[in-house]
Structure 1
């Protein structure tokens, strides 16, 4: 059973943030203020900027050492919006998959993470695998997850009585797609 945490204000804020620049030219993403660990190596350029808005599901499971229980990441389910607020794809998993509306999609391997603001998923750098299909995801070499809000494991109790319970939490993050220059 999935219990959904409703954070309507977060979703509304996310959508209004997407729409706030409608009609205005967008600036190219700068990674200058990011921690070095999650910066894309030189020789790459931004191919696409998106805002992921959705939820991440966690499940209450026994710890690997069997000493207690913990919330374990199950997977994401988010819409990818462009800077104008139009849906251009989706992000889902497992495995973590970024999929464009044109049908092209890719997976990747995490290279590094860096802390974000408290209560938010860490910033992340992913090395992309070769895209499946032709389209927007073709040629993508790296994906950055930045500007994260929410998405951390639930604060509710995870114990023997709640074993197997799933909890979805709202989140938002910018996903920046890079290609070789």
Structure 2
């Protein structure tokens, strides 16, 4: 995992570059500790994109404000083999379970089953459900997820929507498998958390 200062800076530099491709609000900050201090103070704009830069098919509601952008430092999508009744073998067609460490404007976030995201800095936690997707060839889809539960106060407490963008990898393996078999596939992505205007 990217826990040294140099590797954190490298990961944040990559995150900043990817977010810059989306269209940033303000200057991109590449120093890990500076980015984390900025996030702690509540000024999260240096590494976050504008809503208009997100593909229209998976865009959060108009007026949504970015509250953080995070790069998958290490991550997998784990699939379970589904075997049809009476068949000898099956395929990895079931839903995937994420397990990832994200790094970005607010430090580290653990992404896990639920799907759930929890700040390692302040313990704030959200779960979400898929609202829209944008399929991409050779990789898992880009997503818009709607937050359906919050726990704690902190970085994620105001998140209403989450985008999964710039995906690579994470696709279920091809070929046959046996009942109960699992396969974990590495993936990369950028997650952007949004505070949506009140309805």
- Alignment TM-score, normalising by the size of structure 1: 0.77
- CA deviations on 1:28-52 (whole Å, 9 max, x unpaired) are 3134354322001112100010112
The alpha-carbon deviation at position 165 of structure 1 amounts to 1.1
Considering Cα pairs closer than 8 Å and 6+ residues apart, tell me whether 1 or 2 has the greater RCO.
Answer: 1
Q: Which residue of 2 aligns with 1:82?
A: 104
The alpha-carbon deviation at position 98 of structure 1 amounts to 0.6
The alpha-carbon deviation at position 180 of structure 1 amounts to 2.9
1:112 has 2:132 as partner: yes
- CA-based RMSD of the aligned residues comes to 2.7
Correspondence list, 1:62-81, <5 A? 62-63=83-84, 69-71=90-92, 72-81=94-103
1:103 has 2:119 as partner: no
- Secondary structure of the residue that 2:149 maps to in structure 1? coil
The alpha-carbon deviation at position 129 of structure 1 amounts to 1.7
1:164 has 2:180 as partner: yes
Q: Distance in 2 between matches of 1:39 and 1:67?
A: 43
1:179 has 2:195 as partner: yes
Contact kept in structure 2, 1:143 and 1:177, CA below 8 Å: yes
Q: Which residue of 2 aligns with 1:136?
A: 155
Q: Distance in 1 between matches of 2:116 and 2:83?
A: 27
Equivalent in 142, 145, 168 of residue 164 of structure 2: 145
Contact kept in structure 2, 1:73 and 1:153, CA below 8 Å: no
Q: Which runs of 5+ in 1 are unaligned?
A: 1-14
Number of residue equivalences: 161
- CA deviations on 1:57-82 (whole Å, 9 max, x unpaired) are 11111148979622123411000111
Q: Distance in 1 between matches of 2:190 and 2:86?
A: 35
Q: Which residue of 1 aligns with 2:52?
A: 32
Which of structure 1's runs of 4+ aligned residues deviate more than 6 A?
64-68
Structure (1/2) with the larger strand percentage? 1
The alpha-carbon deviation at position 89 of structure 1 amounts to 1.2
Q: Which residue of 1 aligns with 2:79?
A: 58
Structure (1/2) with the larger helix percentage? 2
